[in-house]
């Protein structure tokens, strides 16, 4: 590179690039209306079928986050057939969401049957055994939110599963399963850390993304 | 109740019973005897019997405990009537009625009843009550699962087990069990998960305080303890399968220790410096300042005869080392070379040398594929059998006069490294530890179990070090004489219970390893005894090597001397050493 790393703020940037970065973020997270208004404001080209695809993915995401795994699976089958079947990890996570729903609704018999029929077949593979034990442990408690496994009932967990589902669907449609924004931030953090390690000898503090964004 | 003239004693017995019950339930020792009995004690001329609280001459055995153990033993042996009769006659019940009820409920599978009774048994420690309840409910849970009553089992888990609020990790395991005994198998397969009820009772016994429920076989355990202690205290114990009787204390006499010269082997032309039996005890190797080594064969009757004379060294041979499979032998010439010999043919297979320096000690690696030797430049070398040098540890690792041992797992290398220190080099962890003495160390030997090192010192003491974990001095043995020469000692006898050493006063000394007591000082040689080796396969045989150029084979007194016609080693001798 011709430019000295310390003079990075003199690198030329293309406006289109910025627009695409923002767009990819919005599309990834299904912000349909924002996309429409952004496209209108900036004149950026919008990929074909983009809106429709976003709508569908948004509904899938919503169902998953709410814990309605069965509906999420149904919708996913429509959009991306066989995706769930082929992706074992994802399938297990979605089924476990349904299991958790049953447990929270105190439907013990149903939960037990569901676990015995749908979840235990996964137990033949080593890596699912611990996860399976985690979920089964929930059954033992009358108040699962007070059990050691309470994090499995949390919003954060459901969001995590919904997120993986979203990425899998994007991949299936041959779209990137990460947004450019994410990658750029990740790369920037690493680069800045490397640079600040050099500067640390001069007494500068290590890189903090938060501080950078606020500055 | 009551036989002849039994009014007063009967009442006393009943009162004692009630007191016992109370005492039993809160795990305390028995209540005081009623005042009446002490009055009677003074009236009666003889002690023992009657209502004494303690039995036995030392007054440490409590009557109540003793009788309960006997009753328990009677029941275990199957003598139910005798057991019940003892309980009645002594007035000392084996278990309180609640405990009896509890045990019956467990065996009947009355889980809820047993958990209930648990509260009434009178346990002061809440945690024990909870742990015991947990154990019982776990059994209930598994038995329900085995009966395929999954929902009932789940209910037990949720409403009875979890509220105990203990053992969370076990709860997790239990909930996994509902779906399948092991995830590899198909659900619904007939695998029995519950243990037997008598096993449950056993486990509960271990949990509850011992005063409440007498442990199974407790009396047998105490008796075995006594027998083991007797055997350990027996300093002459040197024979396998000695039967121990309960009628008298175990006692072995000195006749178990070899103390008679059975054979004198005269084949070396100069001082014999070193000797060692092979691991299987079928051969003996000796080395001498006459620059040769000899392999002797031990026949089935214990007779020793010359098999091969190994010549080739140009210097006195200071030590030998048997290969792990006893098929090969290493010999070391003083500051010269190490030679490898084939035992059956007597052929020299290889000579190991280093230009410019001499080798001072040798040892086999446990896999038999490499050997080590100390070098006169103070380093230690590792060779492959074909002569290729593999490794070399430089620095102060060995001395001019040096022993070298390797533990049988190949992990530790042990060598004299300074005048008063021994180096223990952990080859894997690359850690060095030392044994340091105040006096110069002349030689050492390693026990068969790799846990102990016997160290001979200049000041005529032999020190026993425990080298497992931290190096610790454990015992000292004295009595033999050492002034100018290297004298060696060794472990020997049944389970290496003895320590034997040579001495400059021409005698062989034997100590009991555990107690440090000197057992024998055996005369016979006419020169300093340099080395002793005890046959690892025969606790009644050891060999000694002396400056008088002979090797003596020692055995039990009273043993007939066996000797071969060939070679001048058949001197018939009786009752030589010892008393």
Q: What is the pLDDT of residue B464?
A: 93
Same domain, residue pair B201 and B271: no
B320: its two tokens: 């030998």
Note whether B183 contacts A142, CB cutoff 8 Å. no
Asked if B179 is an interface residue toward chain A (Cβ–Cβ < 8 A), one would say: yes
DSSP B456: E
User: How do strand B260-265 and strand B61-62 relate by DSSP bridges?
Assistant: unpaired
Q: Provide the CATH number for the domain around residue B432.
A: 2.130.10.10
Q: What is the pLDDT of residue B267?
A: 92
Same domain, residue pair B205 and B279: no
Is the pLDDT reported for residue A3 higher than 60?
yes
**What's the rounded mean pLDDT across residues A55-77?**
88
Residues of B in contact with A138 (CB under 8 A): 175
Same domain, residue pair B202 and B258: no
* Closest partner CB to A116 (pick from B157, B175, B179): B179
Report chain A residues touching chain B, CB-CB < 8 A.
108-109, 112, 115-116, 119-120, 123-124, 129, 132-133, 136-142, 148
String of DSSP letters for A158-195: HHHHHHHHHHHHHHHTTS-SS-HHHHHHHHHHHHHHHH
Note whether A108 contacts B154, CB cutoff 8 Å. yes
Same domain, residue pair B261 and B208: no
B565: its two tokens: 């016609």
> What residue has token string 């339930």?
B25
Q: What is the pLDDT of residue B568?
A: 43
**What's the rounded mean pLDDT across residues B41-46?**
44
Domain housing B152: 97-179+193-213
ipTM for this model: 0.75
Asked if B185 is an interface residue toward chain A (Cβ–Cβ < 8 A), one would say: no
**What's the rounded mean pLDDT across residues B455-473?**
87
Asked if B174 is an interface residue toward chain A (Cβ–Cβ < 8 A), one would say: yes
Q: What is the pLDDT of residue B419?
A: 83
* Closest partner CB to A140 (pick from B157, B180, B184): B157
d(CA B68, CA B151): 44
- Name residue B329's beta-bridge partners: B322, B341
Please indicate, yes or no, if residue B389 is contained in any of the structural domains.
Answer: yes
Same domain, residue pair B159 and B274: no
Note whether A148 contacts B168, CB cutoff 8 Å. yes
Asked if B85 is an interface residue toward chain A (Cβ–Cβ < 8 A), one would say: no
Q: What is the pLDDT of residue B544?
A: 95
H-assigned helices in chain A = 15-28, 32-42, 50-66, 69-79, 83-86, 88-104, 108-114, 126-139, 155-172, 180-200, 209-214
Nearest to B141 by CA among B120, B118, B123, B164: B164
Please indicate, yes or no, if residue B75 is contained in any of the structural domains.
Answer: no
Q: Determine what percent of chain B falls in helix, strand and coil, rounding each to the nearest 5.
A: 25, 30, 45
Same domain, residue pair B151 and B287: no
**What's the rounded mean pLDDT across residues B415-419?**
83
In the sheet with B404-406, reading across from the earlier edge strand, the strands are B404-406, B412-418, B421-426, B431-436
| Shortest CA gap B179–chain A (Å) | 5
Is the pLDDT reported for residue B348 higher than 90?
yes
H-assigned helices in B403-520 = none
3-state DSSP call for residue B529? Answer: strand
Note whether A139 contacts B183, CB cutoff 8 Å. no
Phi and psi of A78, rounded to 5°? -65, -45
CA distances from A38 to A31, A128, B66, B188 (A): 10, 43, 93, 58
In the sheet with B441-446, reading across from the earlier edge strand, the strands are B441-446, B452-457, B461-466, B472-478
CB B271 within 8 A of CB B527: yes
Please indicate, yes or no, if residue B27 is contained in any of the structural domains.
Answer: no
Same domain, residue pair B296 and B364: yes
Please indicate, yes or no, if residue B158 is contained in any of the structural domains.
Answer: yes
- Name residue B454's beta-bridge partners: B445, B464
B84: its two tokens: 């019940």
Interface of B with A in 138-157 (CB under 8 A): 150-151, 154, 157
Query: Chain-wide mean pLDDT for chain A?
Result: 84
B119: its two tokens: 């509260």
**What's the rounded mean pLDDT across residues B307-313?**
92
- Angle at the Cα of A54 from the Cα atoms of A49 and A57, rounded to 5 degrees: 125
Same domain, residue pair B482 and B537: yes
Same domain, residue pair B203 and B264: no
Q: At B286, is the pLDDT very low, low, confident or very high (cuts 50, 70, 90)?
A: very high
Same domain, residue pair B151 and B277: no
Query: Chain-wide mean pLDDT for chain B?
Result: 82
Asked if B187 is an interface residue toward chain A (Cβ–Cβ < 8 A), one would say: yes
Q: At B191, is the pLDDT very low, low, confident or very high (cuts 50, 70, 90)?
A: low
DSSP A118: I
Note whether B179 contacts A115, CB cutoff 8 Å. yes
Please indicate, yes or no, if residue B338 is contained in any of the structural domains.
Answer: yes
Q: What is the distance, to the nearest Å, from the Cα of residue B481 to the centroid of all Cα atoms in its chain?
A: 30
* Closest partner CB to A137 (pick from B154, B172, B184): B172
| Shortest CA gap B160–chain A (Å) | 10
Q: What is the pLDDT of residue B38?
A: 45
Taking the alpha carbons at both ends of chain B, their separation in whole angstroms is: 64
In the sheet with B508-512, reading across from the earlier edge strand, the strands are B489-492, B498-501, B508-512, B518-522
Note whether B158 contacts A141, CB cutoff 8 Å. yes
Same domain, residue pair B284 and B199: no
Note whether B150 contacts A129, CB cutoff 8 Å. no
Taking the alpha carbons at both ends of chain A, their separation in whole angstroms is: 27
B23: its two tokens: 């005492």
The total number of structural domains that make up chain B: 2
pLDDT in tens, B246-275: 888 887 888 888 999 999 999 999 999 999
Is the pLDDT reported for residue A67 higher than 90?
no
> What residue has token string 């052929």?
B347
Please indicate, yes or no, if residue B185 is contained in any of the structural domains.
Answer: no
Burial of B525 (0-12, 13-18, 19+ CB in 10 A): buried
- Name residue B422's beta-bridge partners: B416, B435
Note whether B174 contacts A140, CB cutoff 8 Å. yes
Instruction: List the single residue in B with minimal CA-CA distance to A137.
Output: B172
């Amino acid at each position: 590179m011709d430019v000295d790393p310390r003079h990075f703020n003199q690198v030329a940037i293309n406006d289109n690039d910025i627009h695409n970065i923002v767009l990819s973020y919005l599309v990834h997270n299904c912000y349909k209306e924002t996309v429409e208004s952004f496209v209108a404001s900036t004149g950026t080209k919008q990929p074909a079928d983009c809106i429709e695809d976003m709508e569908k993915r948004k509904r899938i995401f919503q169902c998953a986050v709410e814990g309605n795994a069965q509906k999420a699976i149904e919708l996913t089958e429509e959009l991306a057939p066989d995706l769930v079947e082929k992706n074992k990890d994802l399938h297990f996570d979605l089924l476990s969401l349904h299991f958790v729903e049953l447990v929270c609704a105190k439907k013990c018999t149903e939960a037990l049957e569901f676990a015995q029929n749908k979840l235990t077949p996964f137990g033949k593979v080593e890596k699912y055994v611990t996860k399976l034990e985690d979920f089964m442990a929930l059954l033992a408690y009358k108040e699962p939110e007070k059990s050691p496994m309470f994090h499995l009932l949390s919003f954060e967990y459901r969001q995590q599963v919904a997120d993986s589902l979203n990425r899998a669907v994007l991949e299936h449609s041959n779209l990137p399963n990460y947004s450019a924004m994410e990658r750029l931030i990740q790369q920037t953090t690493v680069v800045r850390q490397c640079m600040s390690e050099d500067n640390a000898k001069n007494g500068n503090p290590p890189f903090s993304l938060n501080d950078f964004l606020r500055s | 109740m009551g036989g002849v003239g039994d009014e007063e004693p009967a009442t006393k017995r009943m009162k004692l019973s009630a007191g016992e019950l109370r005492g039993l339930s809160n795990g305390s020792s028995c209540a005081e005897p009623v005042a009446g009995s002490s009055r009677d004690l003074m009236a009666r001329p003889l002690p023992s019997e009657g209502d004494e609280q303690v039995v036995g001459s030392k007054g440490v055995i409590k009557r109540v405990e003793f009788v309960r153990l006997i009753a328990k033993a009677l029941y275990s042996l199957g003598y139910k009537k005798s057991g019940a009769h003892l309980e009645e006659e002594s007035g000392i019940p084996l278990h309180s009625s609640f405990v009896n009820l509890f045990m019956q409920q467990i065996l009947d599978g009355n889980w809820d009843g047993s958990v209930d009774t648990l509260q009434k048994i009178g346990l002061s420690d809440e945690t024990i009550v909870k742990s015991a309840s947990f154990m019982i409910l776990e059994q209930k849970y598994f038995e329900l699962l085995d009966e395929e009553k999954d929902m009932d089992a789940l209910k037990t888990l949720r409403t009875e087990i979890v509220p105990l609020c203990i053992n969370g990790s076990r709860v997790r395991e239990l909930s996994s069990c509902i779906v399948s005994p092991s995830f590899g198998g198909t659900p619904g397969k007939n695998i029995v998960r519950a243990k037997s009820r008598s096993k449950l009772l056993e486990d509960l016994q271990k949990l509850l305080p011992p005063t409440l429920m007498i442990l199974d076989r407790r009396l047998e355990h105490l008796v075995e303890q006594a027998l083991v202690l007797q055997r350990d205290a027996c300093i002459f114990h040197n024979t396998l399968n000695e039967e121990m009787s309960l009628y008298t204390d175990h006692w072995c006499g000195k006749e178990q220790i070899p103390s008679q010269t059975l054979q004198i082997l005269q084949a070396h032309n100069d001082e014999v410096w070193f000797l060692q039996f092979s691991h299987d005890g079928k051969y003996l190797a000796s080395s001498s300042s006459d620059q040769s080594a000899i392999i002797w064969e031990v026949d089935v009757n214990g007779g020793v005869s010359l098999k091969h004379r190994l010549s080739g060294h140009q210097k006195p041979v200071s030590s030998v080392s048997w290969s792990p499979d006893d098929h090969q032998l290493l010999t070391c010439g003083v500051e010269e070379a190490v030679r490898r010999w084939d035992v059956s043919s007597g052929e020299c297979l290889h000579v190991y040398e280093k230009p410019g320096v001499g080798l001072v000690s040798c040892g086999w690696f446990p896999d038999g594929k490499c050997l080590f030797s100390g070098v006169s430049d103070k380093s230690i070398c590792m060779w492959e059998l074909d002569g290729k040098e593999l490794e070399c540890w430089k620095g102060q690792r060995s001395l001019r006069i040096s022993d070298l041992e390797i533990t049988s797992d190949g992990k530790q290398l042990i060598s004299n490294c300074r005048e008063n220190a021994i180096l223990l080099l952990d080859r894997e962890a690359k850690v060095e530890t030392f044994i340091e003495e105040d006096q110069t160390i002349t030689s050492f030997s390693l026990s068969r179990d790799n846990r102990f090192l016997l160290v001979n010192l200049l000041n005529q003491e032999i020190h026993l070090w425990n080298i497992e974990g931290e190096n610790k001095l454990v015992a000292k043995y004295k009595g033999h004489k050492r002034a100018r020469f290297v004298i060696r000692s060794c472990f020997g006898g049944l389970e290496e219970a003895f320590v034997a050493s040579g001495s400059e006063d021409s005698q062989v000394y034997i100590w009991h390893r555990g107690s440090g007591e000197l057992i024998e000082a055996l005369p016979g040689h006419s020169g300093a005894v340099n080395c002793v080796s005890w046959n690892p396969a025969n606790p009644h045989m050891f060999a000694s090597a002396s400056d008088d150029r002979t090797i003596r084979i020692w055995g039990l007194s009273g043993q007939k001397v066996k000797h071969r016609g060939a070679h001048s080693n058949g001197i018939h001798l009786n009752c030589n050493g010892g008393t």
